[in-house]
Amino acid sequence: MLNKFEHYYYEAKENKWYRYFAVFCRLTLAVAWVISGSVKILGERFAAGLSHNHPLGQYFDALLNTGYYYTFIGVAQVFVAILLLIPRTAIIGAISSFPIILNICVLAYSVRFEGTRAATFMLLANLFLLCWDYDRLKSILPFKHVKTDVHQAHEKPLNNKFPFLFFGTVVATLAAVVVLNNIMYDIRPGNSPEECWNGCPGNSNPKECEEFCDCIHNKGKPLGKCLEEYEKARERDKKDSLERTSDK
């Protein structure tokens, strides 16, 4: 299996479209880190439009008040972006970027942030970059390696064949992320009070949804507590509906 993977890998390395995609991933991640890091270096609150009572908004408010630690995070993110932009240091940038975006991704999902899709896209792009430099990372991986004449591979002319299967898989994966994010949570706090309340008419329990939004954005309670109250309200509503049905 490893032989097949390495055969496919080195074929991909010789294809210009894969190389373009690798450059695209590097640039996209670098731009994201520059934007995120610059906000922190300037001492501004990240995601300024996010409600202060949103669980992630509370986190950003607390992070903003950590002083030079907040600036340090910004500098680190910009530094990672610079590493990604330089071809020779791109692998170091990808390695450094991975734990950062993984942490952000887990954080976004844990608080049901609307930006989970973007965070997941960044994580997937970072994973691709790590795979792209597999030939430089494989020596630290815990399995036997197939000896490959890397110099001979570099001497071959680039293949211009468009990898329809690969890019089709990329599009399908991105679409799956979007779809799964739309159905994985019954309710989200939204990025703002308006966004939260606007989603209630389409919720199966609009009244309970409004109470959830009030719990998050007006009362500022923890997400876990508001979700607990939301589930209890749903159960009460179901119980009342069953009792009314049985009475009829």
**pLDDT tens digit sequence for 175-232:** 999 999 988 998 999 999 999 999 899 888 899 999 999 999 999 999 999 999 999 9
Domains of the chain: total = 2
pLDDT, residue 3, reads 76
Per the prediction, the chain carries an average pLDDT of: 90
Check whether 148 has a pLDDT greater than 70: no
Together in a domain, 167 and 203: no
Residues 13 and 36 in one domain: yes
Residue 150 pLDDT greater than 70, yes or no: no
Same domain assignment for residues 162 and 198? no
188 located within any domain? no
Decide: helix, strand or coil at residue 15. Answer: strand
- 135 with 232, same domain: the answer is no
Report pTM.
0.88
Mean pLDDT, residues 39-57: 92
The residue type found at 6 is E
Q: Are 229 and 118 in a shared domain?
A: no
Question: What pLDDT digit, counting tens, does each position of 65-83 carry?
Answer: 999 999 999 999 999 999 9
* Greatest distance between any 2 Cα atoms in the chain: 81
Domain range for 130: 2-183
Instruction: Kindly state whether residues 56 and 160 are assigned to the same domain.
Output: yes
Closest CA to 29 of 83, 89, 107: 83
Q: Which of 157, 183, 209 is the last residue of a domain?
A: 183
